[in-house]
Amino acid sequence: MERKIVIATMNDHKAREIKSLIGGHYNVLTQDYFSIPSIPETGKTFEENALIKANQVAEKTDLLTLADDSGLEVDLLNGEPGIYSARYAGPDATDDENNQKLIKELERYKGEKITARFRSVIAIVEPAENKERIFHGSWEGTIRLDQRGKNGFGYDPLFFIDDLGVTAAELSDSKKNKLSHRANAIRAAIDYLLRKNNT
């Protein structure tokens, strides 16, 4: 029997990235497919937001559902933008507006090493078994105040991977999908699902 999984996201970039990470294990659908509108992220943590999205979509579809909540944590900004990463410069901010705001906030630290990490929390909700599971991934780096690279999305042009000497936006999709916070969390989630299904 074909296995289906729904990704609870309205972000096309994120949906594409998750689909490529899941590979051929499942028939991947998105909440758009079911005409489910955007779900407000009212939680105070990545975990809460991921579960809110996964539970609401699972309730409406009655299918295995995966949701990601992720963001950038900058140590010199006490972990900001954190859960507000996608709306750092305002509710409908573009990636570039968010990046510009971050650059402005960090200008006073120019010349210092600005350590940061991307964090991803994947929630899986299995309505048939009334189960919830959480998986974590992180990716350490530093922030550059000049944007570099055209790949990726979000804060990728500012997120510098020191041992590679490039930003996340200068990586190919396949390279990013080996290293990223979301890749780490998705791999753990898929391992769990495959073990569970004895595949």
Domain-wise residue ranges, the chain = 4-196
Compute the half-sphere exposure of residue 199: CA atoms within 13 Å on the CB side of its CA: 10
pLDDT at position 126 is 95
Radius of gyration, alpha carbons of the chain = 17
Kindly report the pTM of this predicted structure: 0.89
Region 25-47: mean pLDDT is: 92
CA distance 114 to 139: 14
Summarize pLDDT for 143-171 with one digit per residue, the tens.
Answer: 999 999 999 899 999 999 999 999 999 99
| Residue 7 pLDDT grade (very low, low, confident, very high; cuts 50, 70, 90) | very high
State yes or no: is 69 an active-site residue: yes
Q: Which two tokens stand for residue 168?
A: 């996340």
Q: What's the whole-number mean pLDDT along residues 12-19?
A: 82
pLDDT at position 195 is 85
Task: Give the H or E element holding residue 29.
Answer: strand 27-30
Rounded distance between C-alpha atoms, residue 178 and residue 115, angstroms: 21
Among 62, 69, 156, 162, the active-site one is 69
Predicted confidence at residue 69, as pLDDT, reads: 94
pLDDT at 58 exceeding the cut of 80: yes
Please report the pLDDT score of residue 106 as a whole number: 97
Q: Which residues pair with 32 in a beta bridge?
A: none
Question: CA-to-CA distance for 23 and 189, rounded, in angstroms?
Answer: 13
The CATH number of domain 4-196, selected from 3.40.1280.10, 3.90.950.10, 3.20.20.80, 3.30.420.10: 3.90.950.10
| pLDDT tens digits, one per residue of 85-108 | 999 999 889 999 999 999 999 999
Q: Could you tell me what percent of the chain has a pLDDT over 70?
A: 98
Residue 197 pLDDT grade (very low, low, confident, very high; cuts 50, 70, 90): confident
Give residue 1's pLDDT band: very low, low, confident or very high (50, 70, 90): low
Task: Quote the pLDDT of residue 75.
Answer: 98
Q: Is 125 helix (H, G, I), strand (E, B) or coil?
A: strand
Write down the H helix ranges in 62-154. 95-106
Helix and strand totals (H; E) in the chain: 5, 8
